Amino acid sequence: MLSKKTKYGLKALTFIARRIDNKPVPIATIAKNENISQKFLESILLTLRKSGFLGSKKGKGGGYYLLKDPKEINMSSVMRILEGPIAMVSCVSLNFYEKCDDCPDENTCSVYKLMKEIRDGNLKIYNNKSLSDLF
Amino acid sequence: MLSKKTKYGLKALTFIARRIDNKPVPIATIAKNENISQKFLESILLTLRKSGFLGSKKGKGGGYYLLKDPKEINMSSVMRILEGPIAMVSCVSLNFYEKCDDCPDENTCSVYKLMKEIRDGNLKIYNNKSLSDLF
DNA sequence: ATAATAATCTATCATTCCGATAGGATAAAT
DNA sequence: ATTTATCCTATCGGAATGATAGATTATTAT
């Protein structure tokens, strides 16, 4: 299941990206329009800023804005920041690899093979998608 | 992330399915071989039995056995029993549909479209896979 | 009959994570 | 100086997860 963090994060990103002039959008505006708890959204936008997707401006007329063209914002990277690993088990994860403690050999693991296939499928979708495709 | 319940369940199912004669396999045997907490595995196998995948036999020589040919056990159904919805958001789920409380319109929701695509991809894989493919 | 085997059932538990909230600090514009 | 809005830290309740314990029932073998 997708976390609300990711869901809200994606909604916020599209909301910001829809603004053609790319003028800063205040958190409150996004929260109201997308029915998101403002405080929760704060922390989400903060991580999106710290990961280099968003810029911010304080004070009146401030808010969050995109640092790149929506076409240049890849969905894989966004998902990894918001949701974490794209793979469903860490032993098949490319960016968050971790060995399973219970599994002695990945090559003979039935779950491994299946989940690798799932990961490849999802990765193909995310890799070929940018923020502009979400409009 | 895949729950351990699902992971263990899949491993147990393949373990049972590998037994050509289809004689009952005791929980303890599976637990030892696959490094799974026996008590936890008990509850998992119980749900797999109650959902019609496994049969059981008590007493000596007892254990769990498959009720169908591994080729006839579809991965979508197994995943739905063990992990729940295949979709990452309930509003795009076929078998566990639920409307999002925050989203006014699914047709204009950016997350909805993306997650539908993901669901379709995963479903295609699971639908075209049976337990026999996990060997 | 008795003992051993193995599933079944119920109940509980610790930990972790998630989503949300609170309150103040900082920075910029008017 | 005041307002606006981000930034930061801390905390919290509730749910879910994974695991454990103990007792019960059914079956087989001796």
pLDDT in tens, A118-127: 999 999 999 9
Instruction: Read off the DSSP letter of residue A66.
Output: E
- Please give the Cα distance from A20 to B134 (Å, whole number): 49
Which of B2, B16, B90 should one mutate to test binding to chain A, selecting the residue with the greatest count of A CBs within 10 A? B2
Mean pLDDT estimate for chain A: 97
Phi, psi of A68 (to 5 degrees): -130, 165
| Mean pLDDT, rounded, for A15-29 | 96
> What's the full length of chain B, in residues?
135
Pairing verdict, β A63-66 and B54-57: unpaired
CATH code, B1-135: 1.10.10.10
Residue among B34, B125, B135 whose CB faces A102 most closely: B34
Please check whether residue A91 touches B, CB under 8 A. Answer: no
- Please give the Cα distance from B117 to B99 (Å, whole number): 18
Q: What is the 3-state secondary structure (H, E, C) of chain B?
A: CCCHHHHHHHHHHHHHHHCCCCCCECHHHHHHHHCCCHHHHHHHHHHHHHCCCEEEECCCCCEEEECCCHHHCEHHHHHHHHCCCCCCCHHHCCCCCCCCCCCCCHHHCHHHHHHHHHHHHHHHHHHCCEHHHHC
Q: In the prediction, which pLDDT does A5 show?
A: 98
A–B interface: beta-carbon pairs under 8 A:
77
Q: Which of residues 9-38 of B touch strand D (CB under 7 A)?
A: 36-37
For residue A85, the chain B residues in CB contact (below 8 A) are 1
Phi, psi of A15 (to 5 degrees): -60, -45
| Nearest residue in chain A measured CA to CA from B15 | A110
Please check whether residue B34 touches A, CB under 8 A. Answer: yes
Question: Does the CB of B19 sit below 7 A from strand C?
Answer: no
For residue B111, the chain A residues in CB contact (below 8 A) are 2, 7, 10-11, 134
Tell me, what amino acid is at B43?
A: S
Please check whether residue A18 touches B, CB under 8 A. Answer: no
Contact yes or no for B11 and A113 at CB 8 A: no
Q: In the prediction, which pLDDT does A127 show?
A: 98
Q: Give me the residue spans of the domains in chain A.
A: 1-135
Q: In the prediction, which pLDDT does A72 show?
A: 97
- Please give the Cα distance from B1 to A83 (Å, whole number): 10
Q: In the prediction, which pLDDT does B68 show?
A: 96
Q: In the prediction, which pLDDT does B61 show?
A: 96
Cβ proximity of A135 and A69 under 8 Å? no
Residue in the block written with tokens 């193909």: A124
Q: Kindly report, residue by residue over A29-60, the tens digit of the pLDDT.
A: 999 999 999 999 999 999 999 999 999 999 99
Q: B66 - beta bridge partners?
A: B54
Token code pair at residue B99: 């409307």
Please check whether residue A120 touches B, CB under 8 A. Answer: no
> What's the pTM value of the predicted model, to 2 decimals?
0.95
Q: In the prediction, which pLDDT does B98 show?
A: 93
Instruction: Give per-10-residue mean pLDDT for chain B (135 aa).
Output: 98 96 96 97 98 97 97 98 98 95 92 98 98 96
Q: pLDDT-based confidence at A76, cuts 50/70/90?
A: very high
Q: Kindly report, residue by residue over A90-133, the tens digit of the pLDDT.
A: 999 999 999 998 898 999 999 999 999 999 999 999 999 999 99
Q: In the prediction, which pLDDT does B56 show?
A: 98
